[in-house]
Amino acid sequence: MDKSFDIPTTPIQFEKIAVNPGPSCMSFGFDMKPLLNSIKKIGLINSPILIKKRKGEGAVQYEVIAGFRRISALRALSLNPIPCRILPSETPSLDCLLINLYENLCSRDFNPVEKGMVLTRLLDLIPEREVLDTYMPLFDLPSHRETLHLFAGVEKMFDHQAKTLLASEYLSMKAAKLLIEMDGTERNMFCGYFSAVRFSKNQQTQFIDLVSDLSHIENSPVTCLLMDPRLKDIRDNPQMNNPQKARALITVLRKKRLPRLTKAETGFKQMVEKLALPPAFQIVPPPFFEGAQYRLEISFENGKDLKERLQFVANNERLAAFINPWKMNL
């Protein structure tokens, strides 16, 4: 590759440039507004790079190597023709890909979907070891085969909806890793929930794990579980906000997955409410109620304050009724 890359610009009409991104492009889920505003105010700073397509490919004569976003913005603004730099048609595919990669690395960050696009294309052109050692660090990724195949799996297996969720950070990479292992129908149904309800990252993995566990326990397909009317009613409830929906969905699944534990949690909350303790007092149960020891936490300002609160506890007759929730008849 000519490292100086000193190519003069040539004005090219829109109709001669392919509308779809070419194999060297690596843009997904981008916001056009900042670029549109920039071009409106100061014009095009960096000319797109095209390659002349080989004969016999219809009226379109040029494919985009770098600058797909810029060309899209210029089309939207009807600024025609476009000053472009043209690569020779014999330019190797790897050179085309690297030109676009390094141009983008200098100007922006890549979202997870875009990283998957680049890594997948590189795997088609160079040995895996070279991708791991040379290119994974460029994306601040560990040079591990598992990580490489995760991002490549996103590119190969995720549909547009799933990629959009991931690129917009509505889907975590941890959840994406779980979804890659599923078939397309199951993955699409989970993404339908993640599109409708903004789960936190931890809630996403909880939701997936609970549904998967129930599928194995009940020997029922994931798709059937996700079609449960109770879940769909919560998802589509216009009276609930996103945090309420996410908590309610997980609560329903936990009750099915861990019925005795959820009953114990309910019983514990009921007993604590009956004690009517002031806000300075908090009773903390053992994890999963599997131990016999509970902990009472008391907030206080000074010794006198602590003494008064300890006296309050000592004189609270209702504490005698507090028992392990497993022993309650729930």
The encoded tokens of residue 319 equal 């504490």
Which comes out higher in pLDDT, residue 266 or 192?
Answer: 192
Percent of residues, the chain, with pLDDT higher than 70: 92
What tens digit of pLDDT does each residue of 271-323 get? 888 888 888 888 888 776 767 788 889 999 999 999 988 888 888 888 887 87
Type of residue at 74: L
Mean pLDDT computed over every residue of the chain: 88
What tens digit of pLDDT does each residue of 131-149 get? 999 999 999 999 999 999 9
What pLDDT score does 4 carry?
42
What pLDDT score does 327 carry?
67
The encoded tokens of residue 168 equal 């917009």
What pLDDT score does 96 carry?
93
Task: Check pLDDT > 90 for residue 128.
Answer: yes
Q: Quick one: how far is CA 146 from the chain centroid?
A: 18
Listing DSSP states for 22-89 in one string gives: -TT----S---HHHHHHHHHH--SS--EEEEPPSSS-S--EEEEE-HHHHHHHHHTT--SEEEEEE-T
Determine the Cα–Cα distance for residues 144 and 171; give it in Å rounded to an integer: 22
Determine the Cα–Cα distance for residues 325 and 327; give it in Å rounded to an integer: 5
Task: Check pLDDT > 80 for residue 2.
Answer: no
H or E segment to which residue 295 belongs: strand 295-298
What tens digit of pLDDT does each residue of 6-34 get? 678 889 998 899 888 888 989 898 788 88
What pLDDT score does 56 carry?
55
State the CATH class of domain 1-108. Answer: alpha beta
Task: Check pLDDT > 80 for residue 260.
Answer: no
Range scoring the smallest mean pLDDT among 23-32, 118-127, 237-246: 23-32
Give domain limits for the chain: 1-108, 271-327
Determine the Cα–Cα distance for residues 126 and 124; give it in Å rounded to an integer: 6
Determine the Cα–Cα distance for residues 138 and 100; give it in Å rounded to an integer: 14
Task: Check pLDDT > 70 for residue 196.
Answer: yes
Determine the Cα–Cα distance for residues 188 and 129; give it in Å rounded to an integer: 33
What pLDDT score does 284 carry?
84
- Whole-model pTM: value is 0.75
The encoded tokens of residue 126 equal 């160079």
What tens digit of pLDDT does each residue of 75-122 get? 889 888 989 999 988 899 999 999 999 989 988 899 999 999 999 999
Among 108, 112, 182, smallest CA distance to 147 is for: 112
Contact of 210 with 253, CB cutoff 8 Å = yes
Chain position carrying tokens 């040995």: 127
The encoded tokens of residue 93 equal 């595919």
Determine the Cα–Cα distance for residues 185 and 77; give it in Å rounded to an integer: 39
The encoded tokens of residue 59 equal 């009226």
| Alpha helix stretches (DSSP H) within the chain | 33-42, 68-76, 93-105, 112-123, 128-130, 145-157, 160-167, 173-180, 184-196, 201-218, 222-226, 229-235, 242-257, 259-275, 303-314
Task: Check pLDDT > 80 for residue 194.
Answer: yes
Among 111, 164, 166, 163, smallest CA distance to 139 is for: 111
What pLDDT score does 58 carry?
58
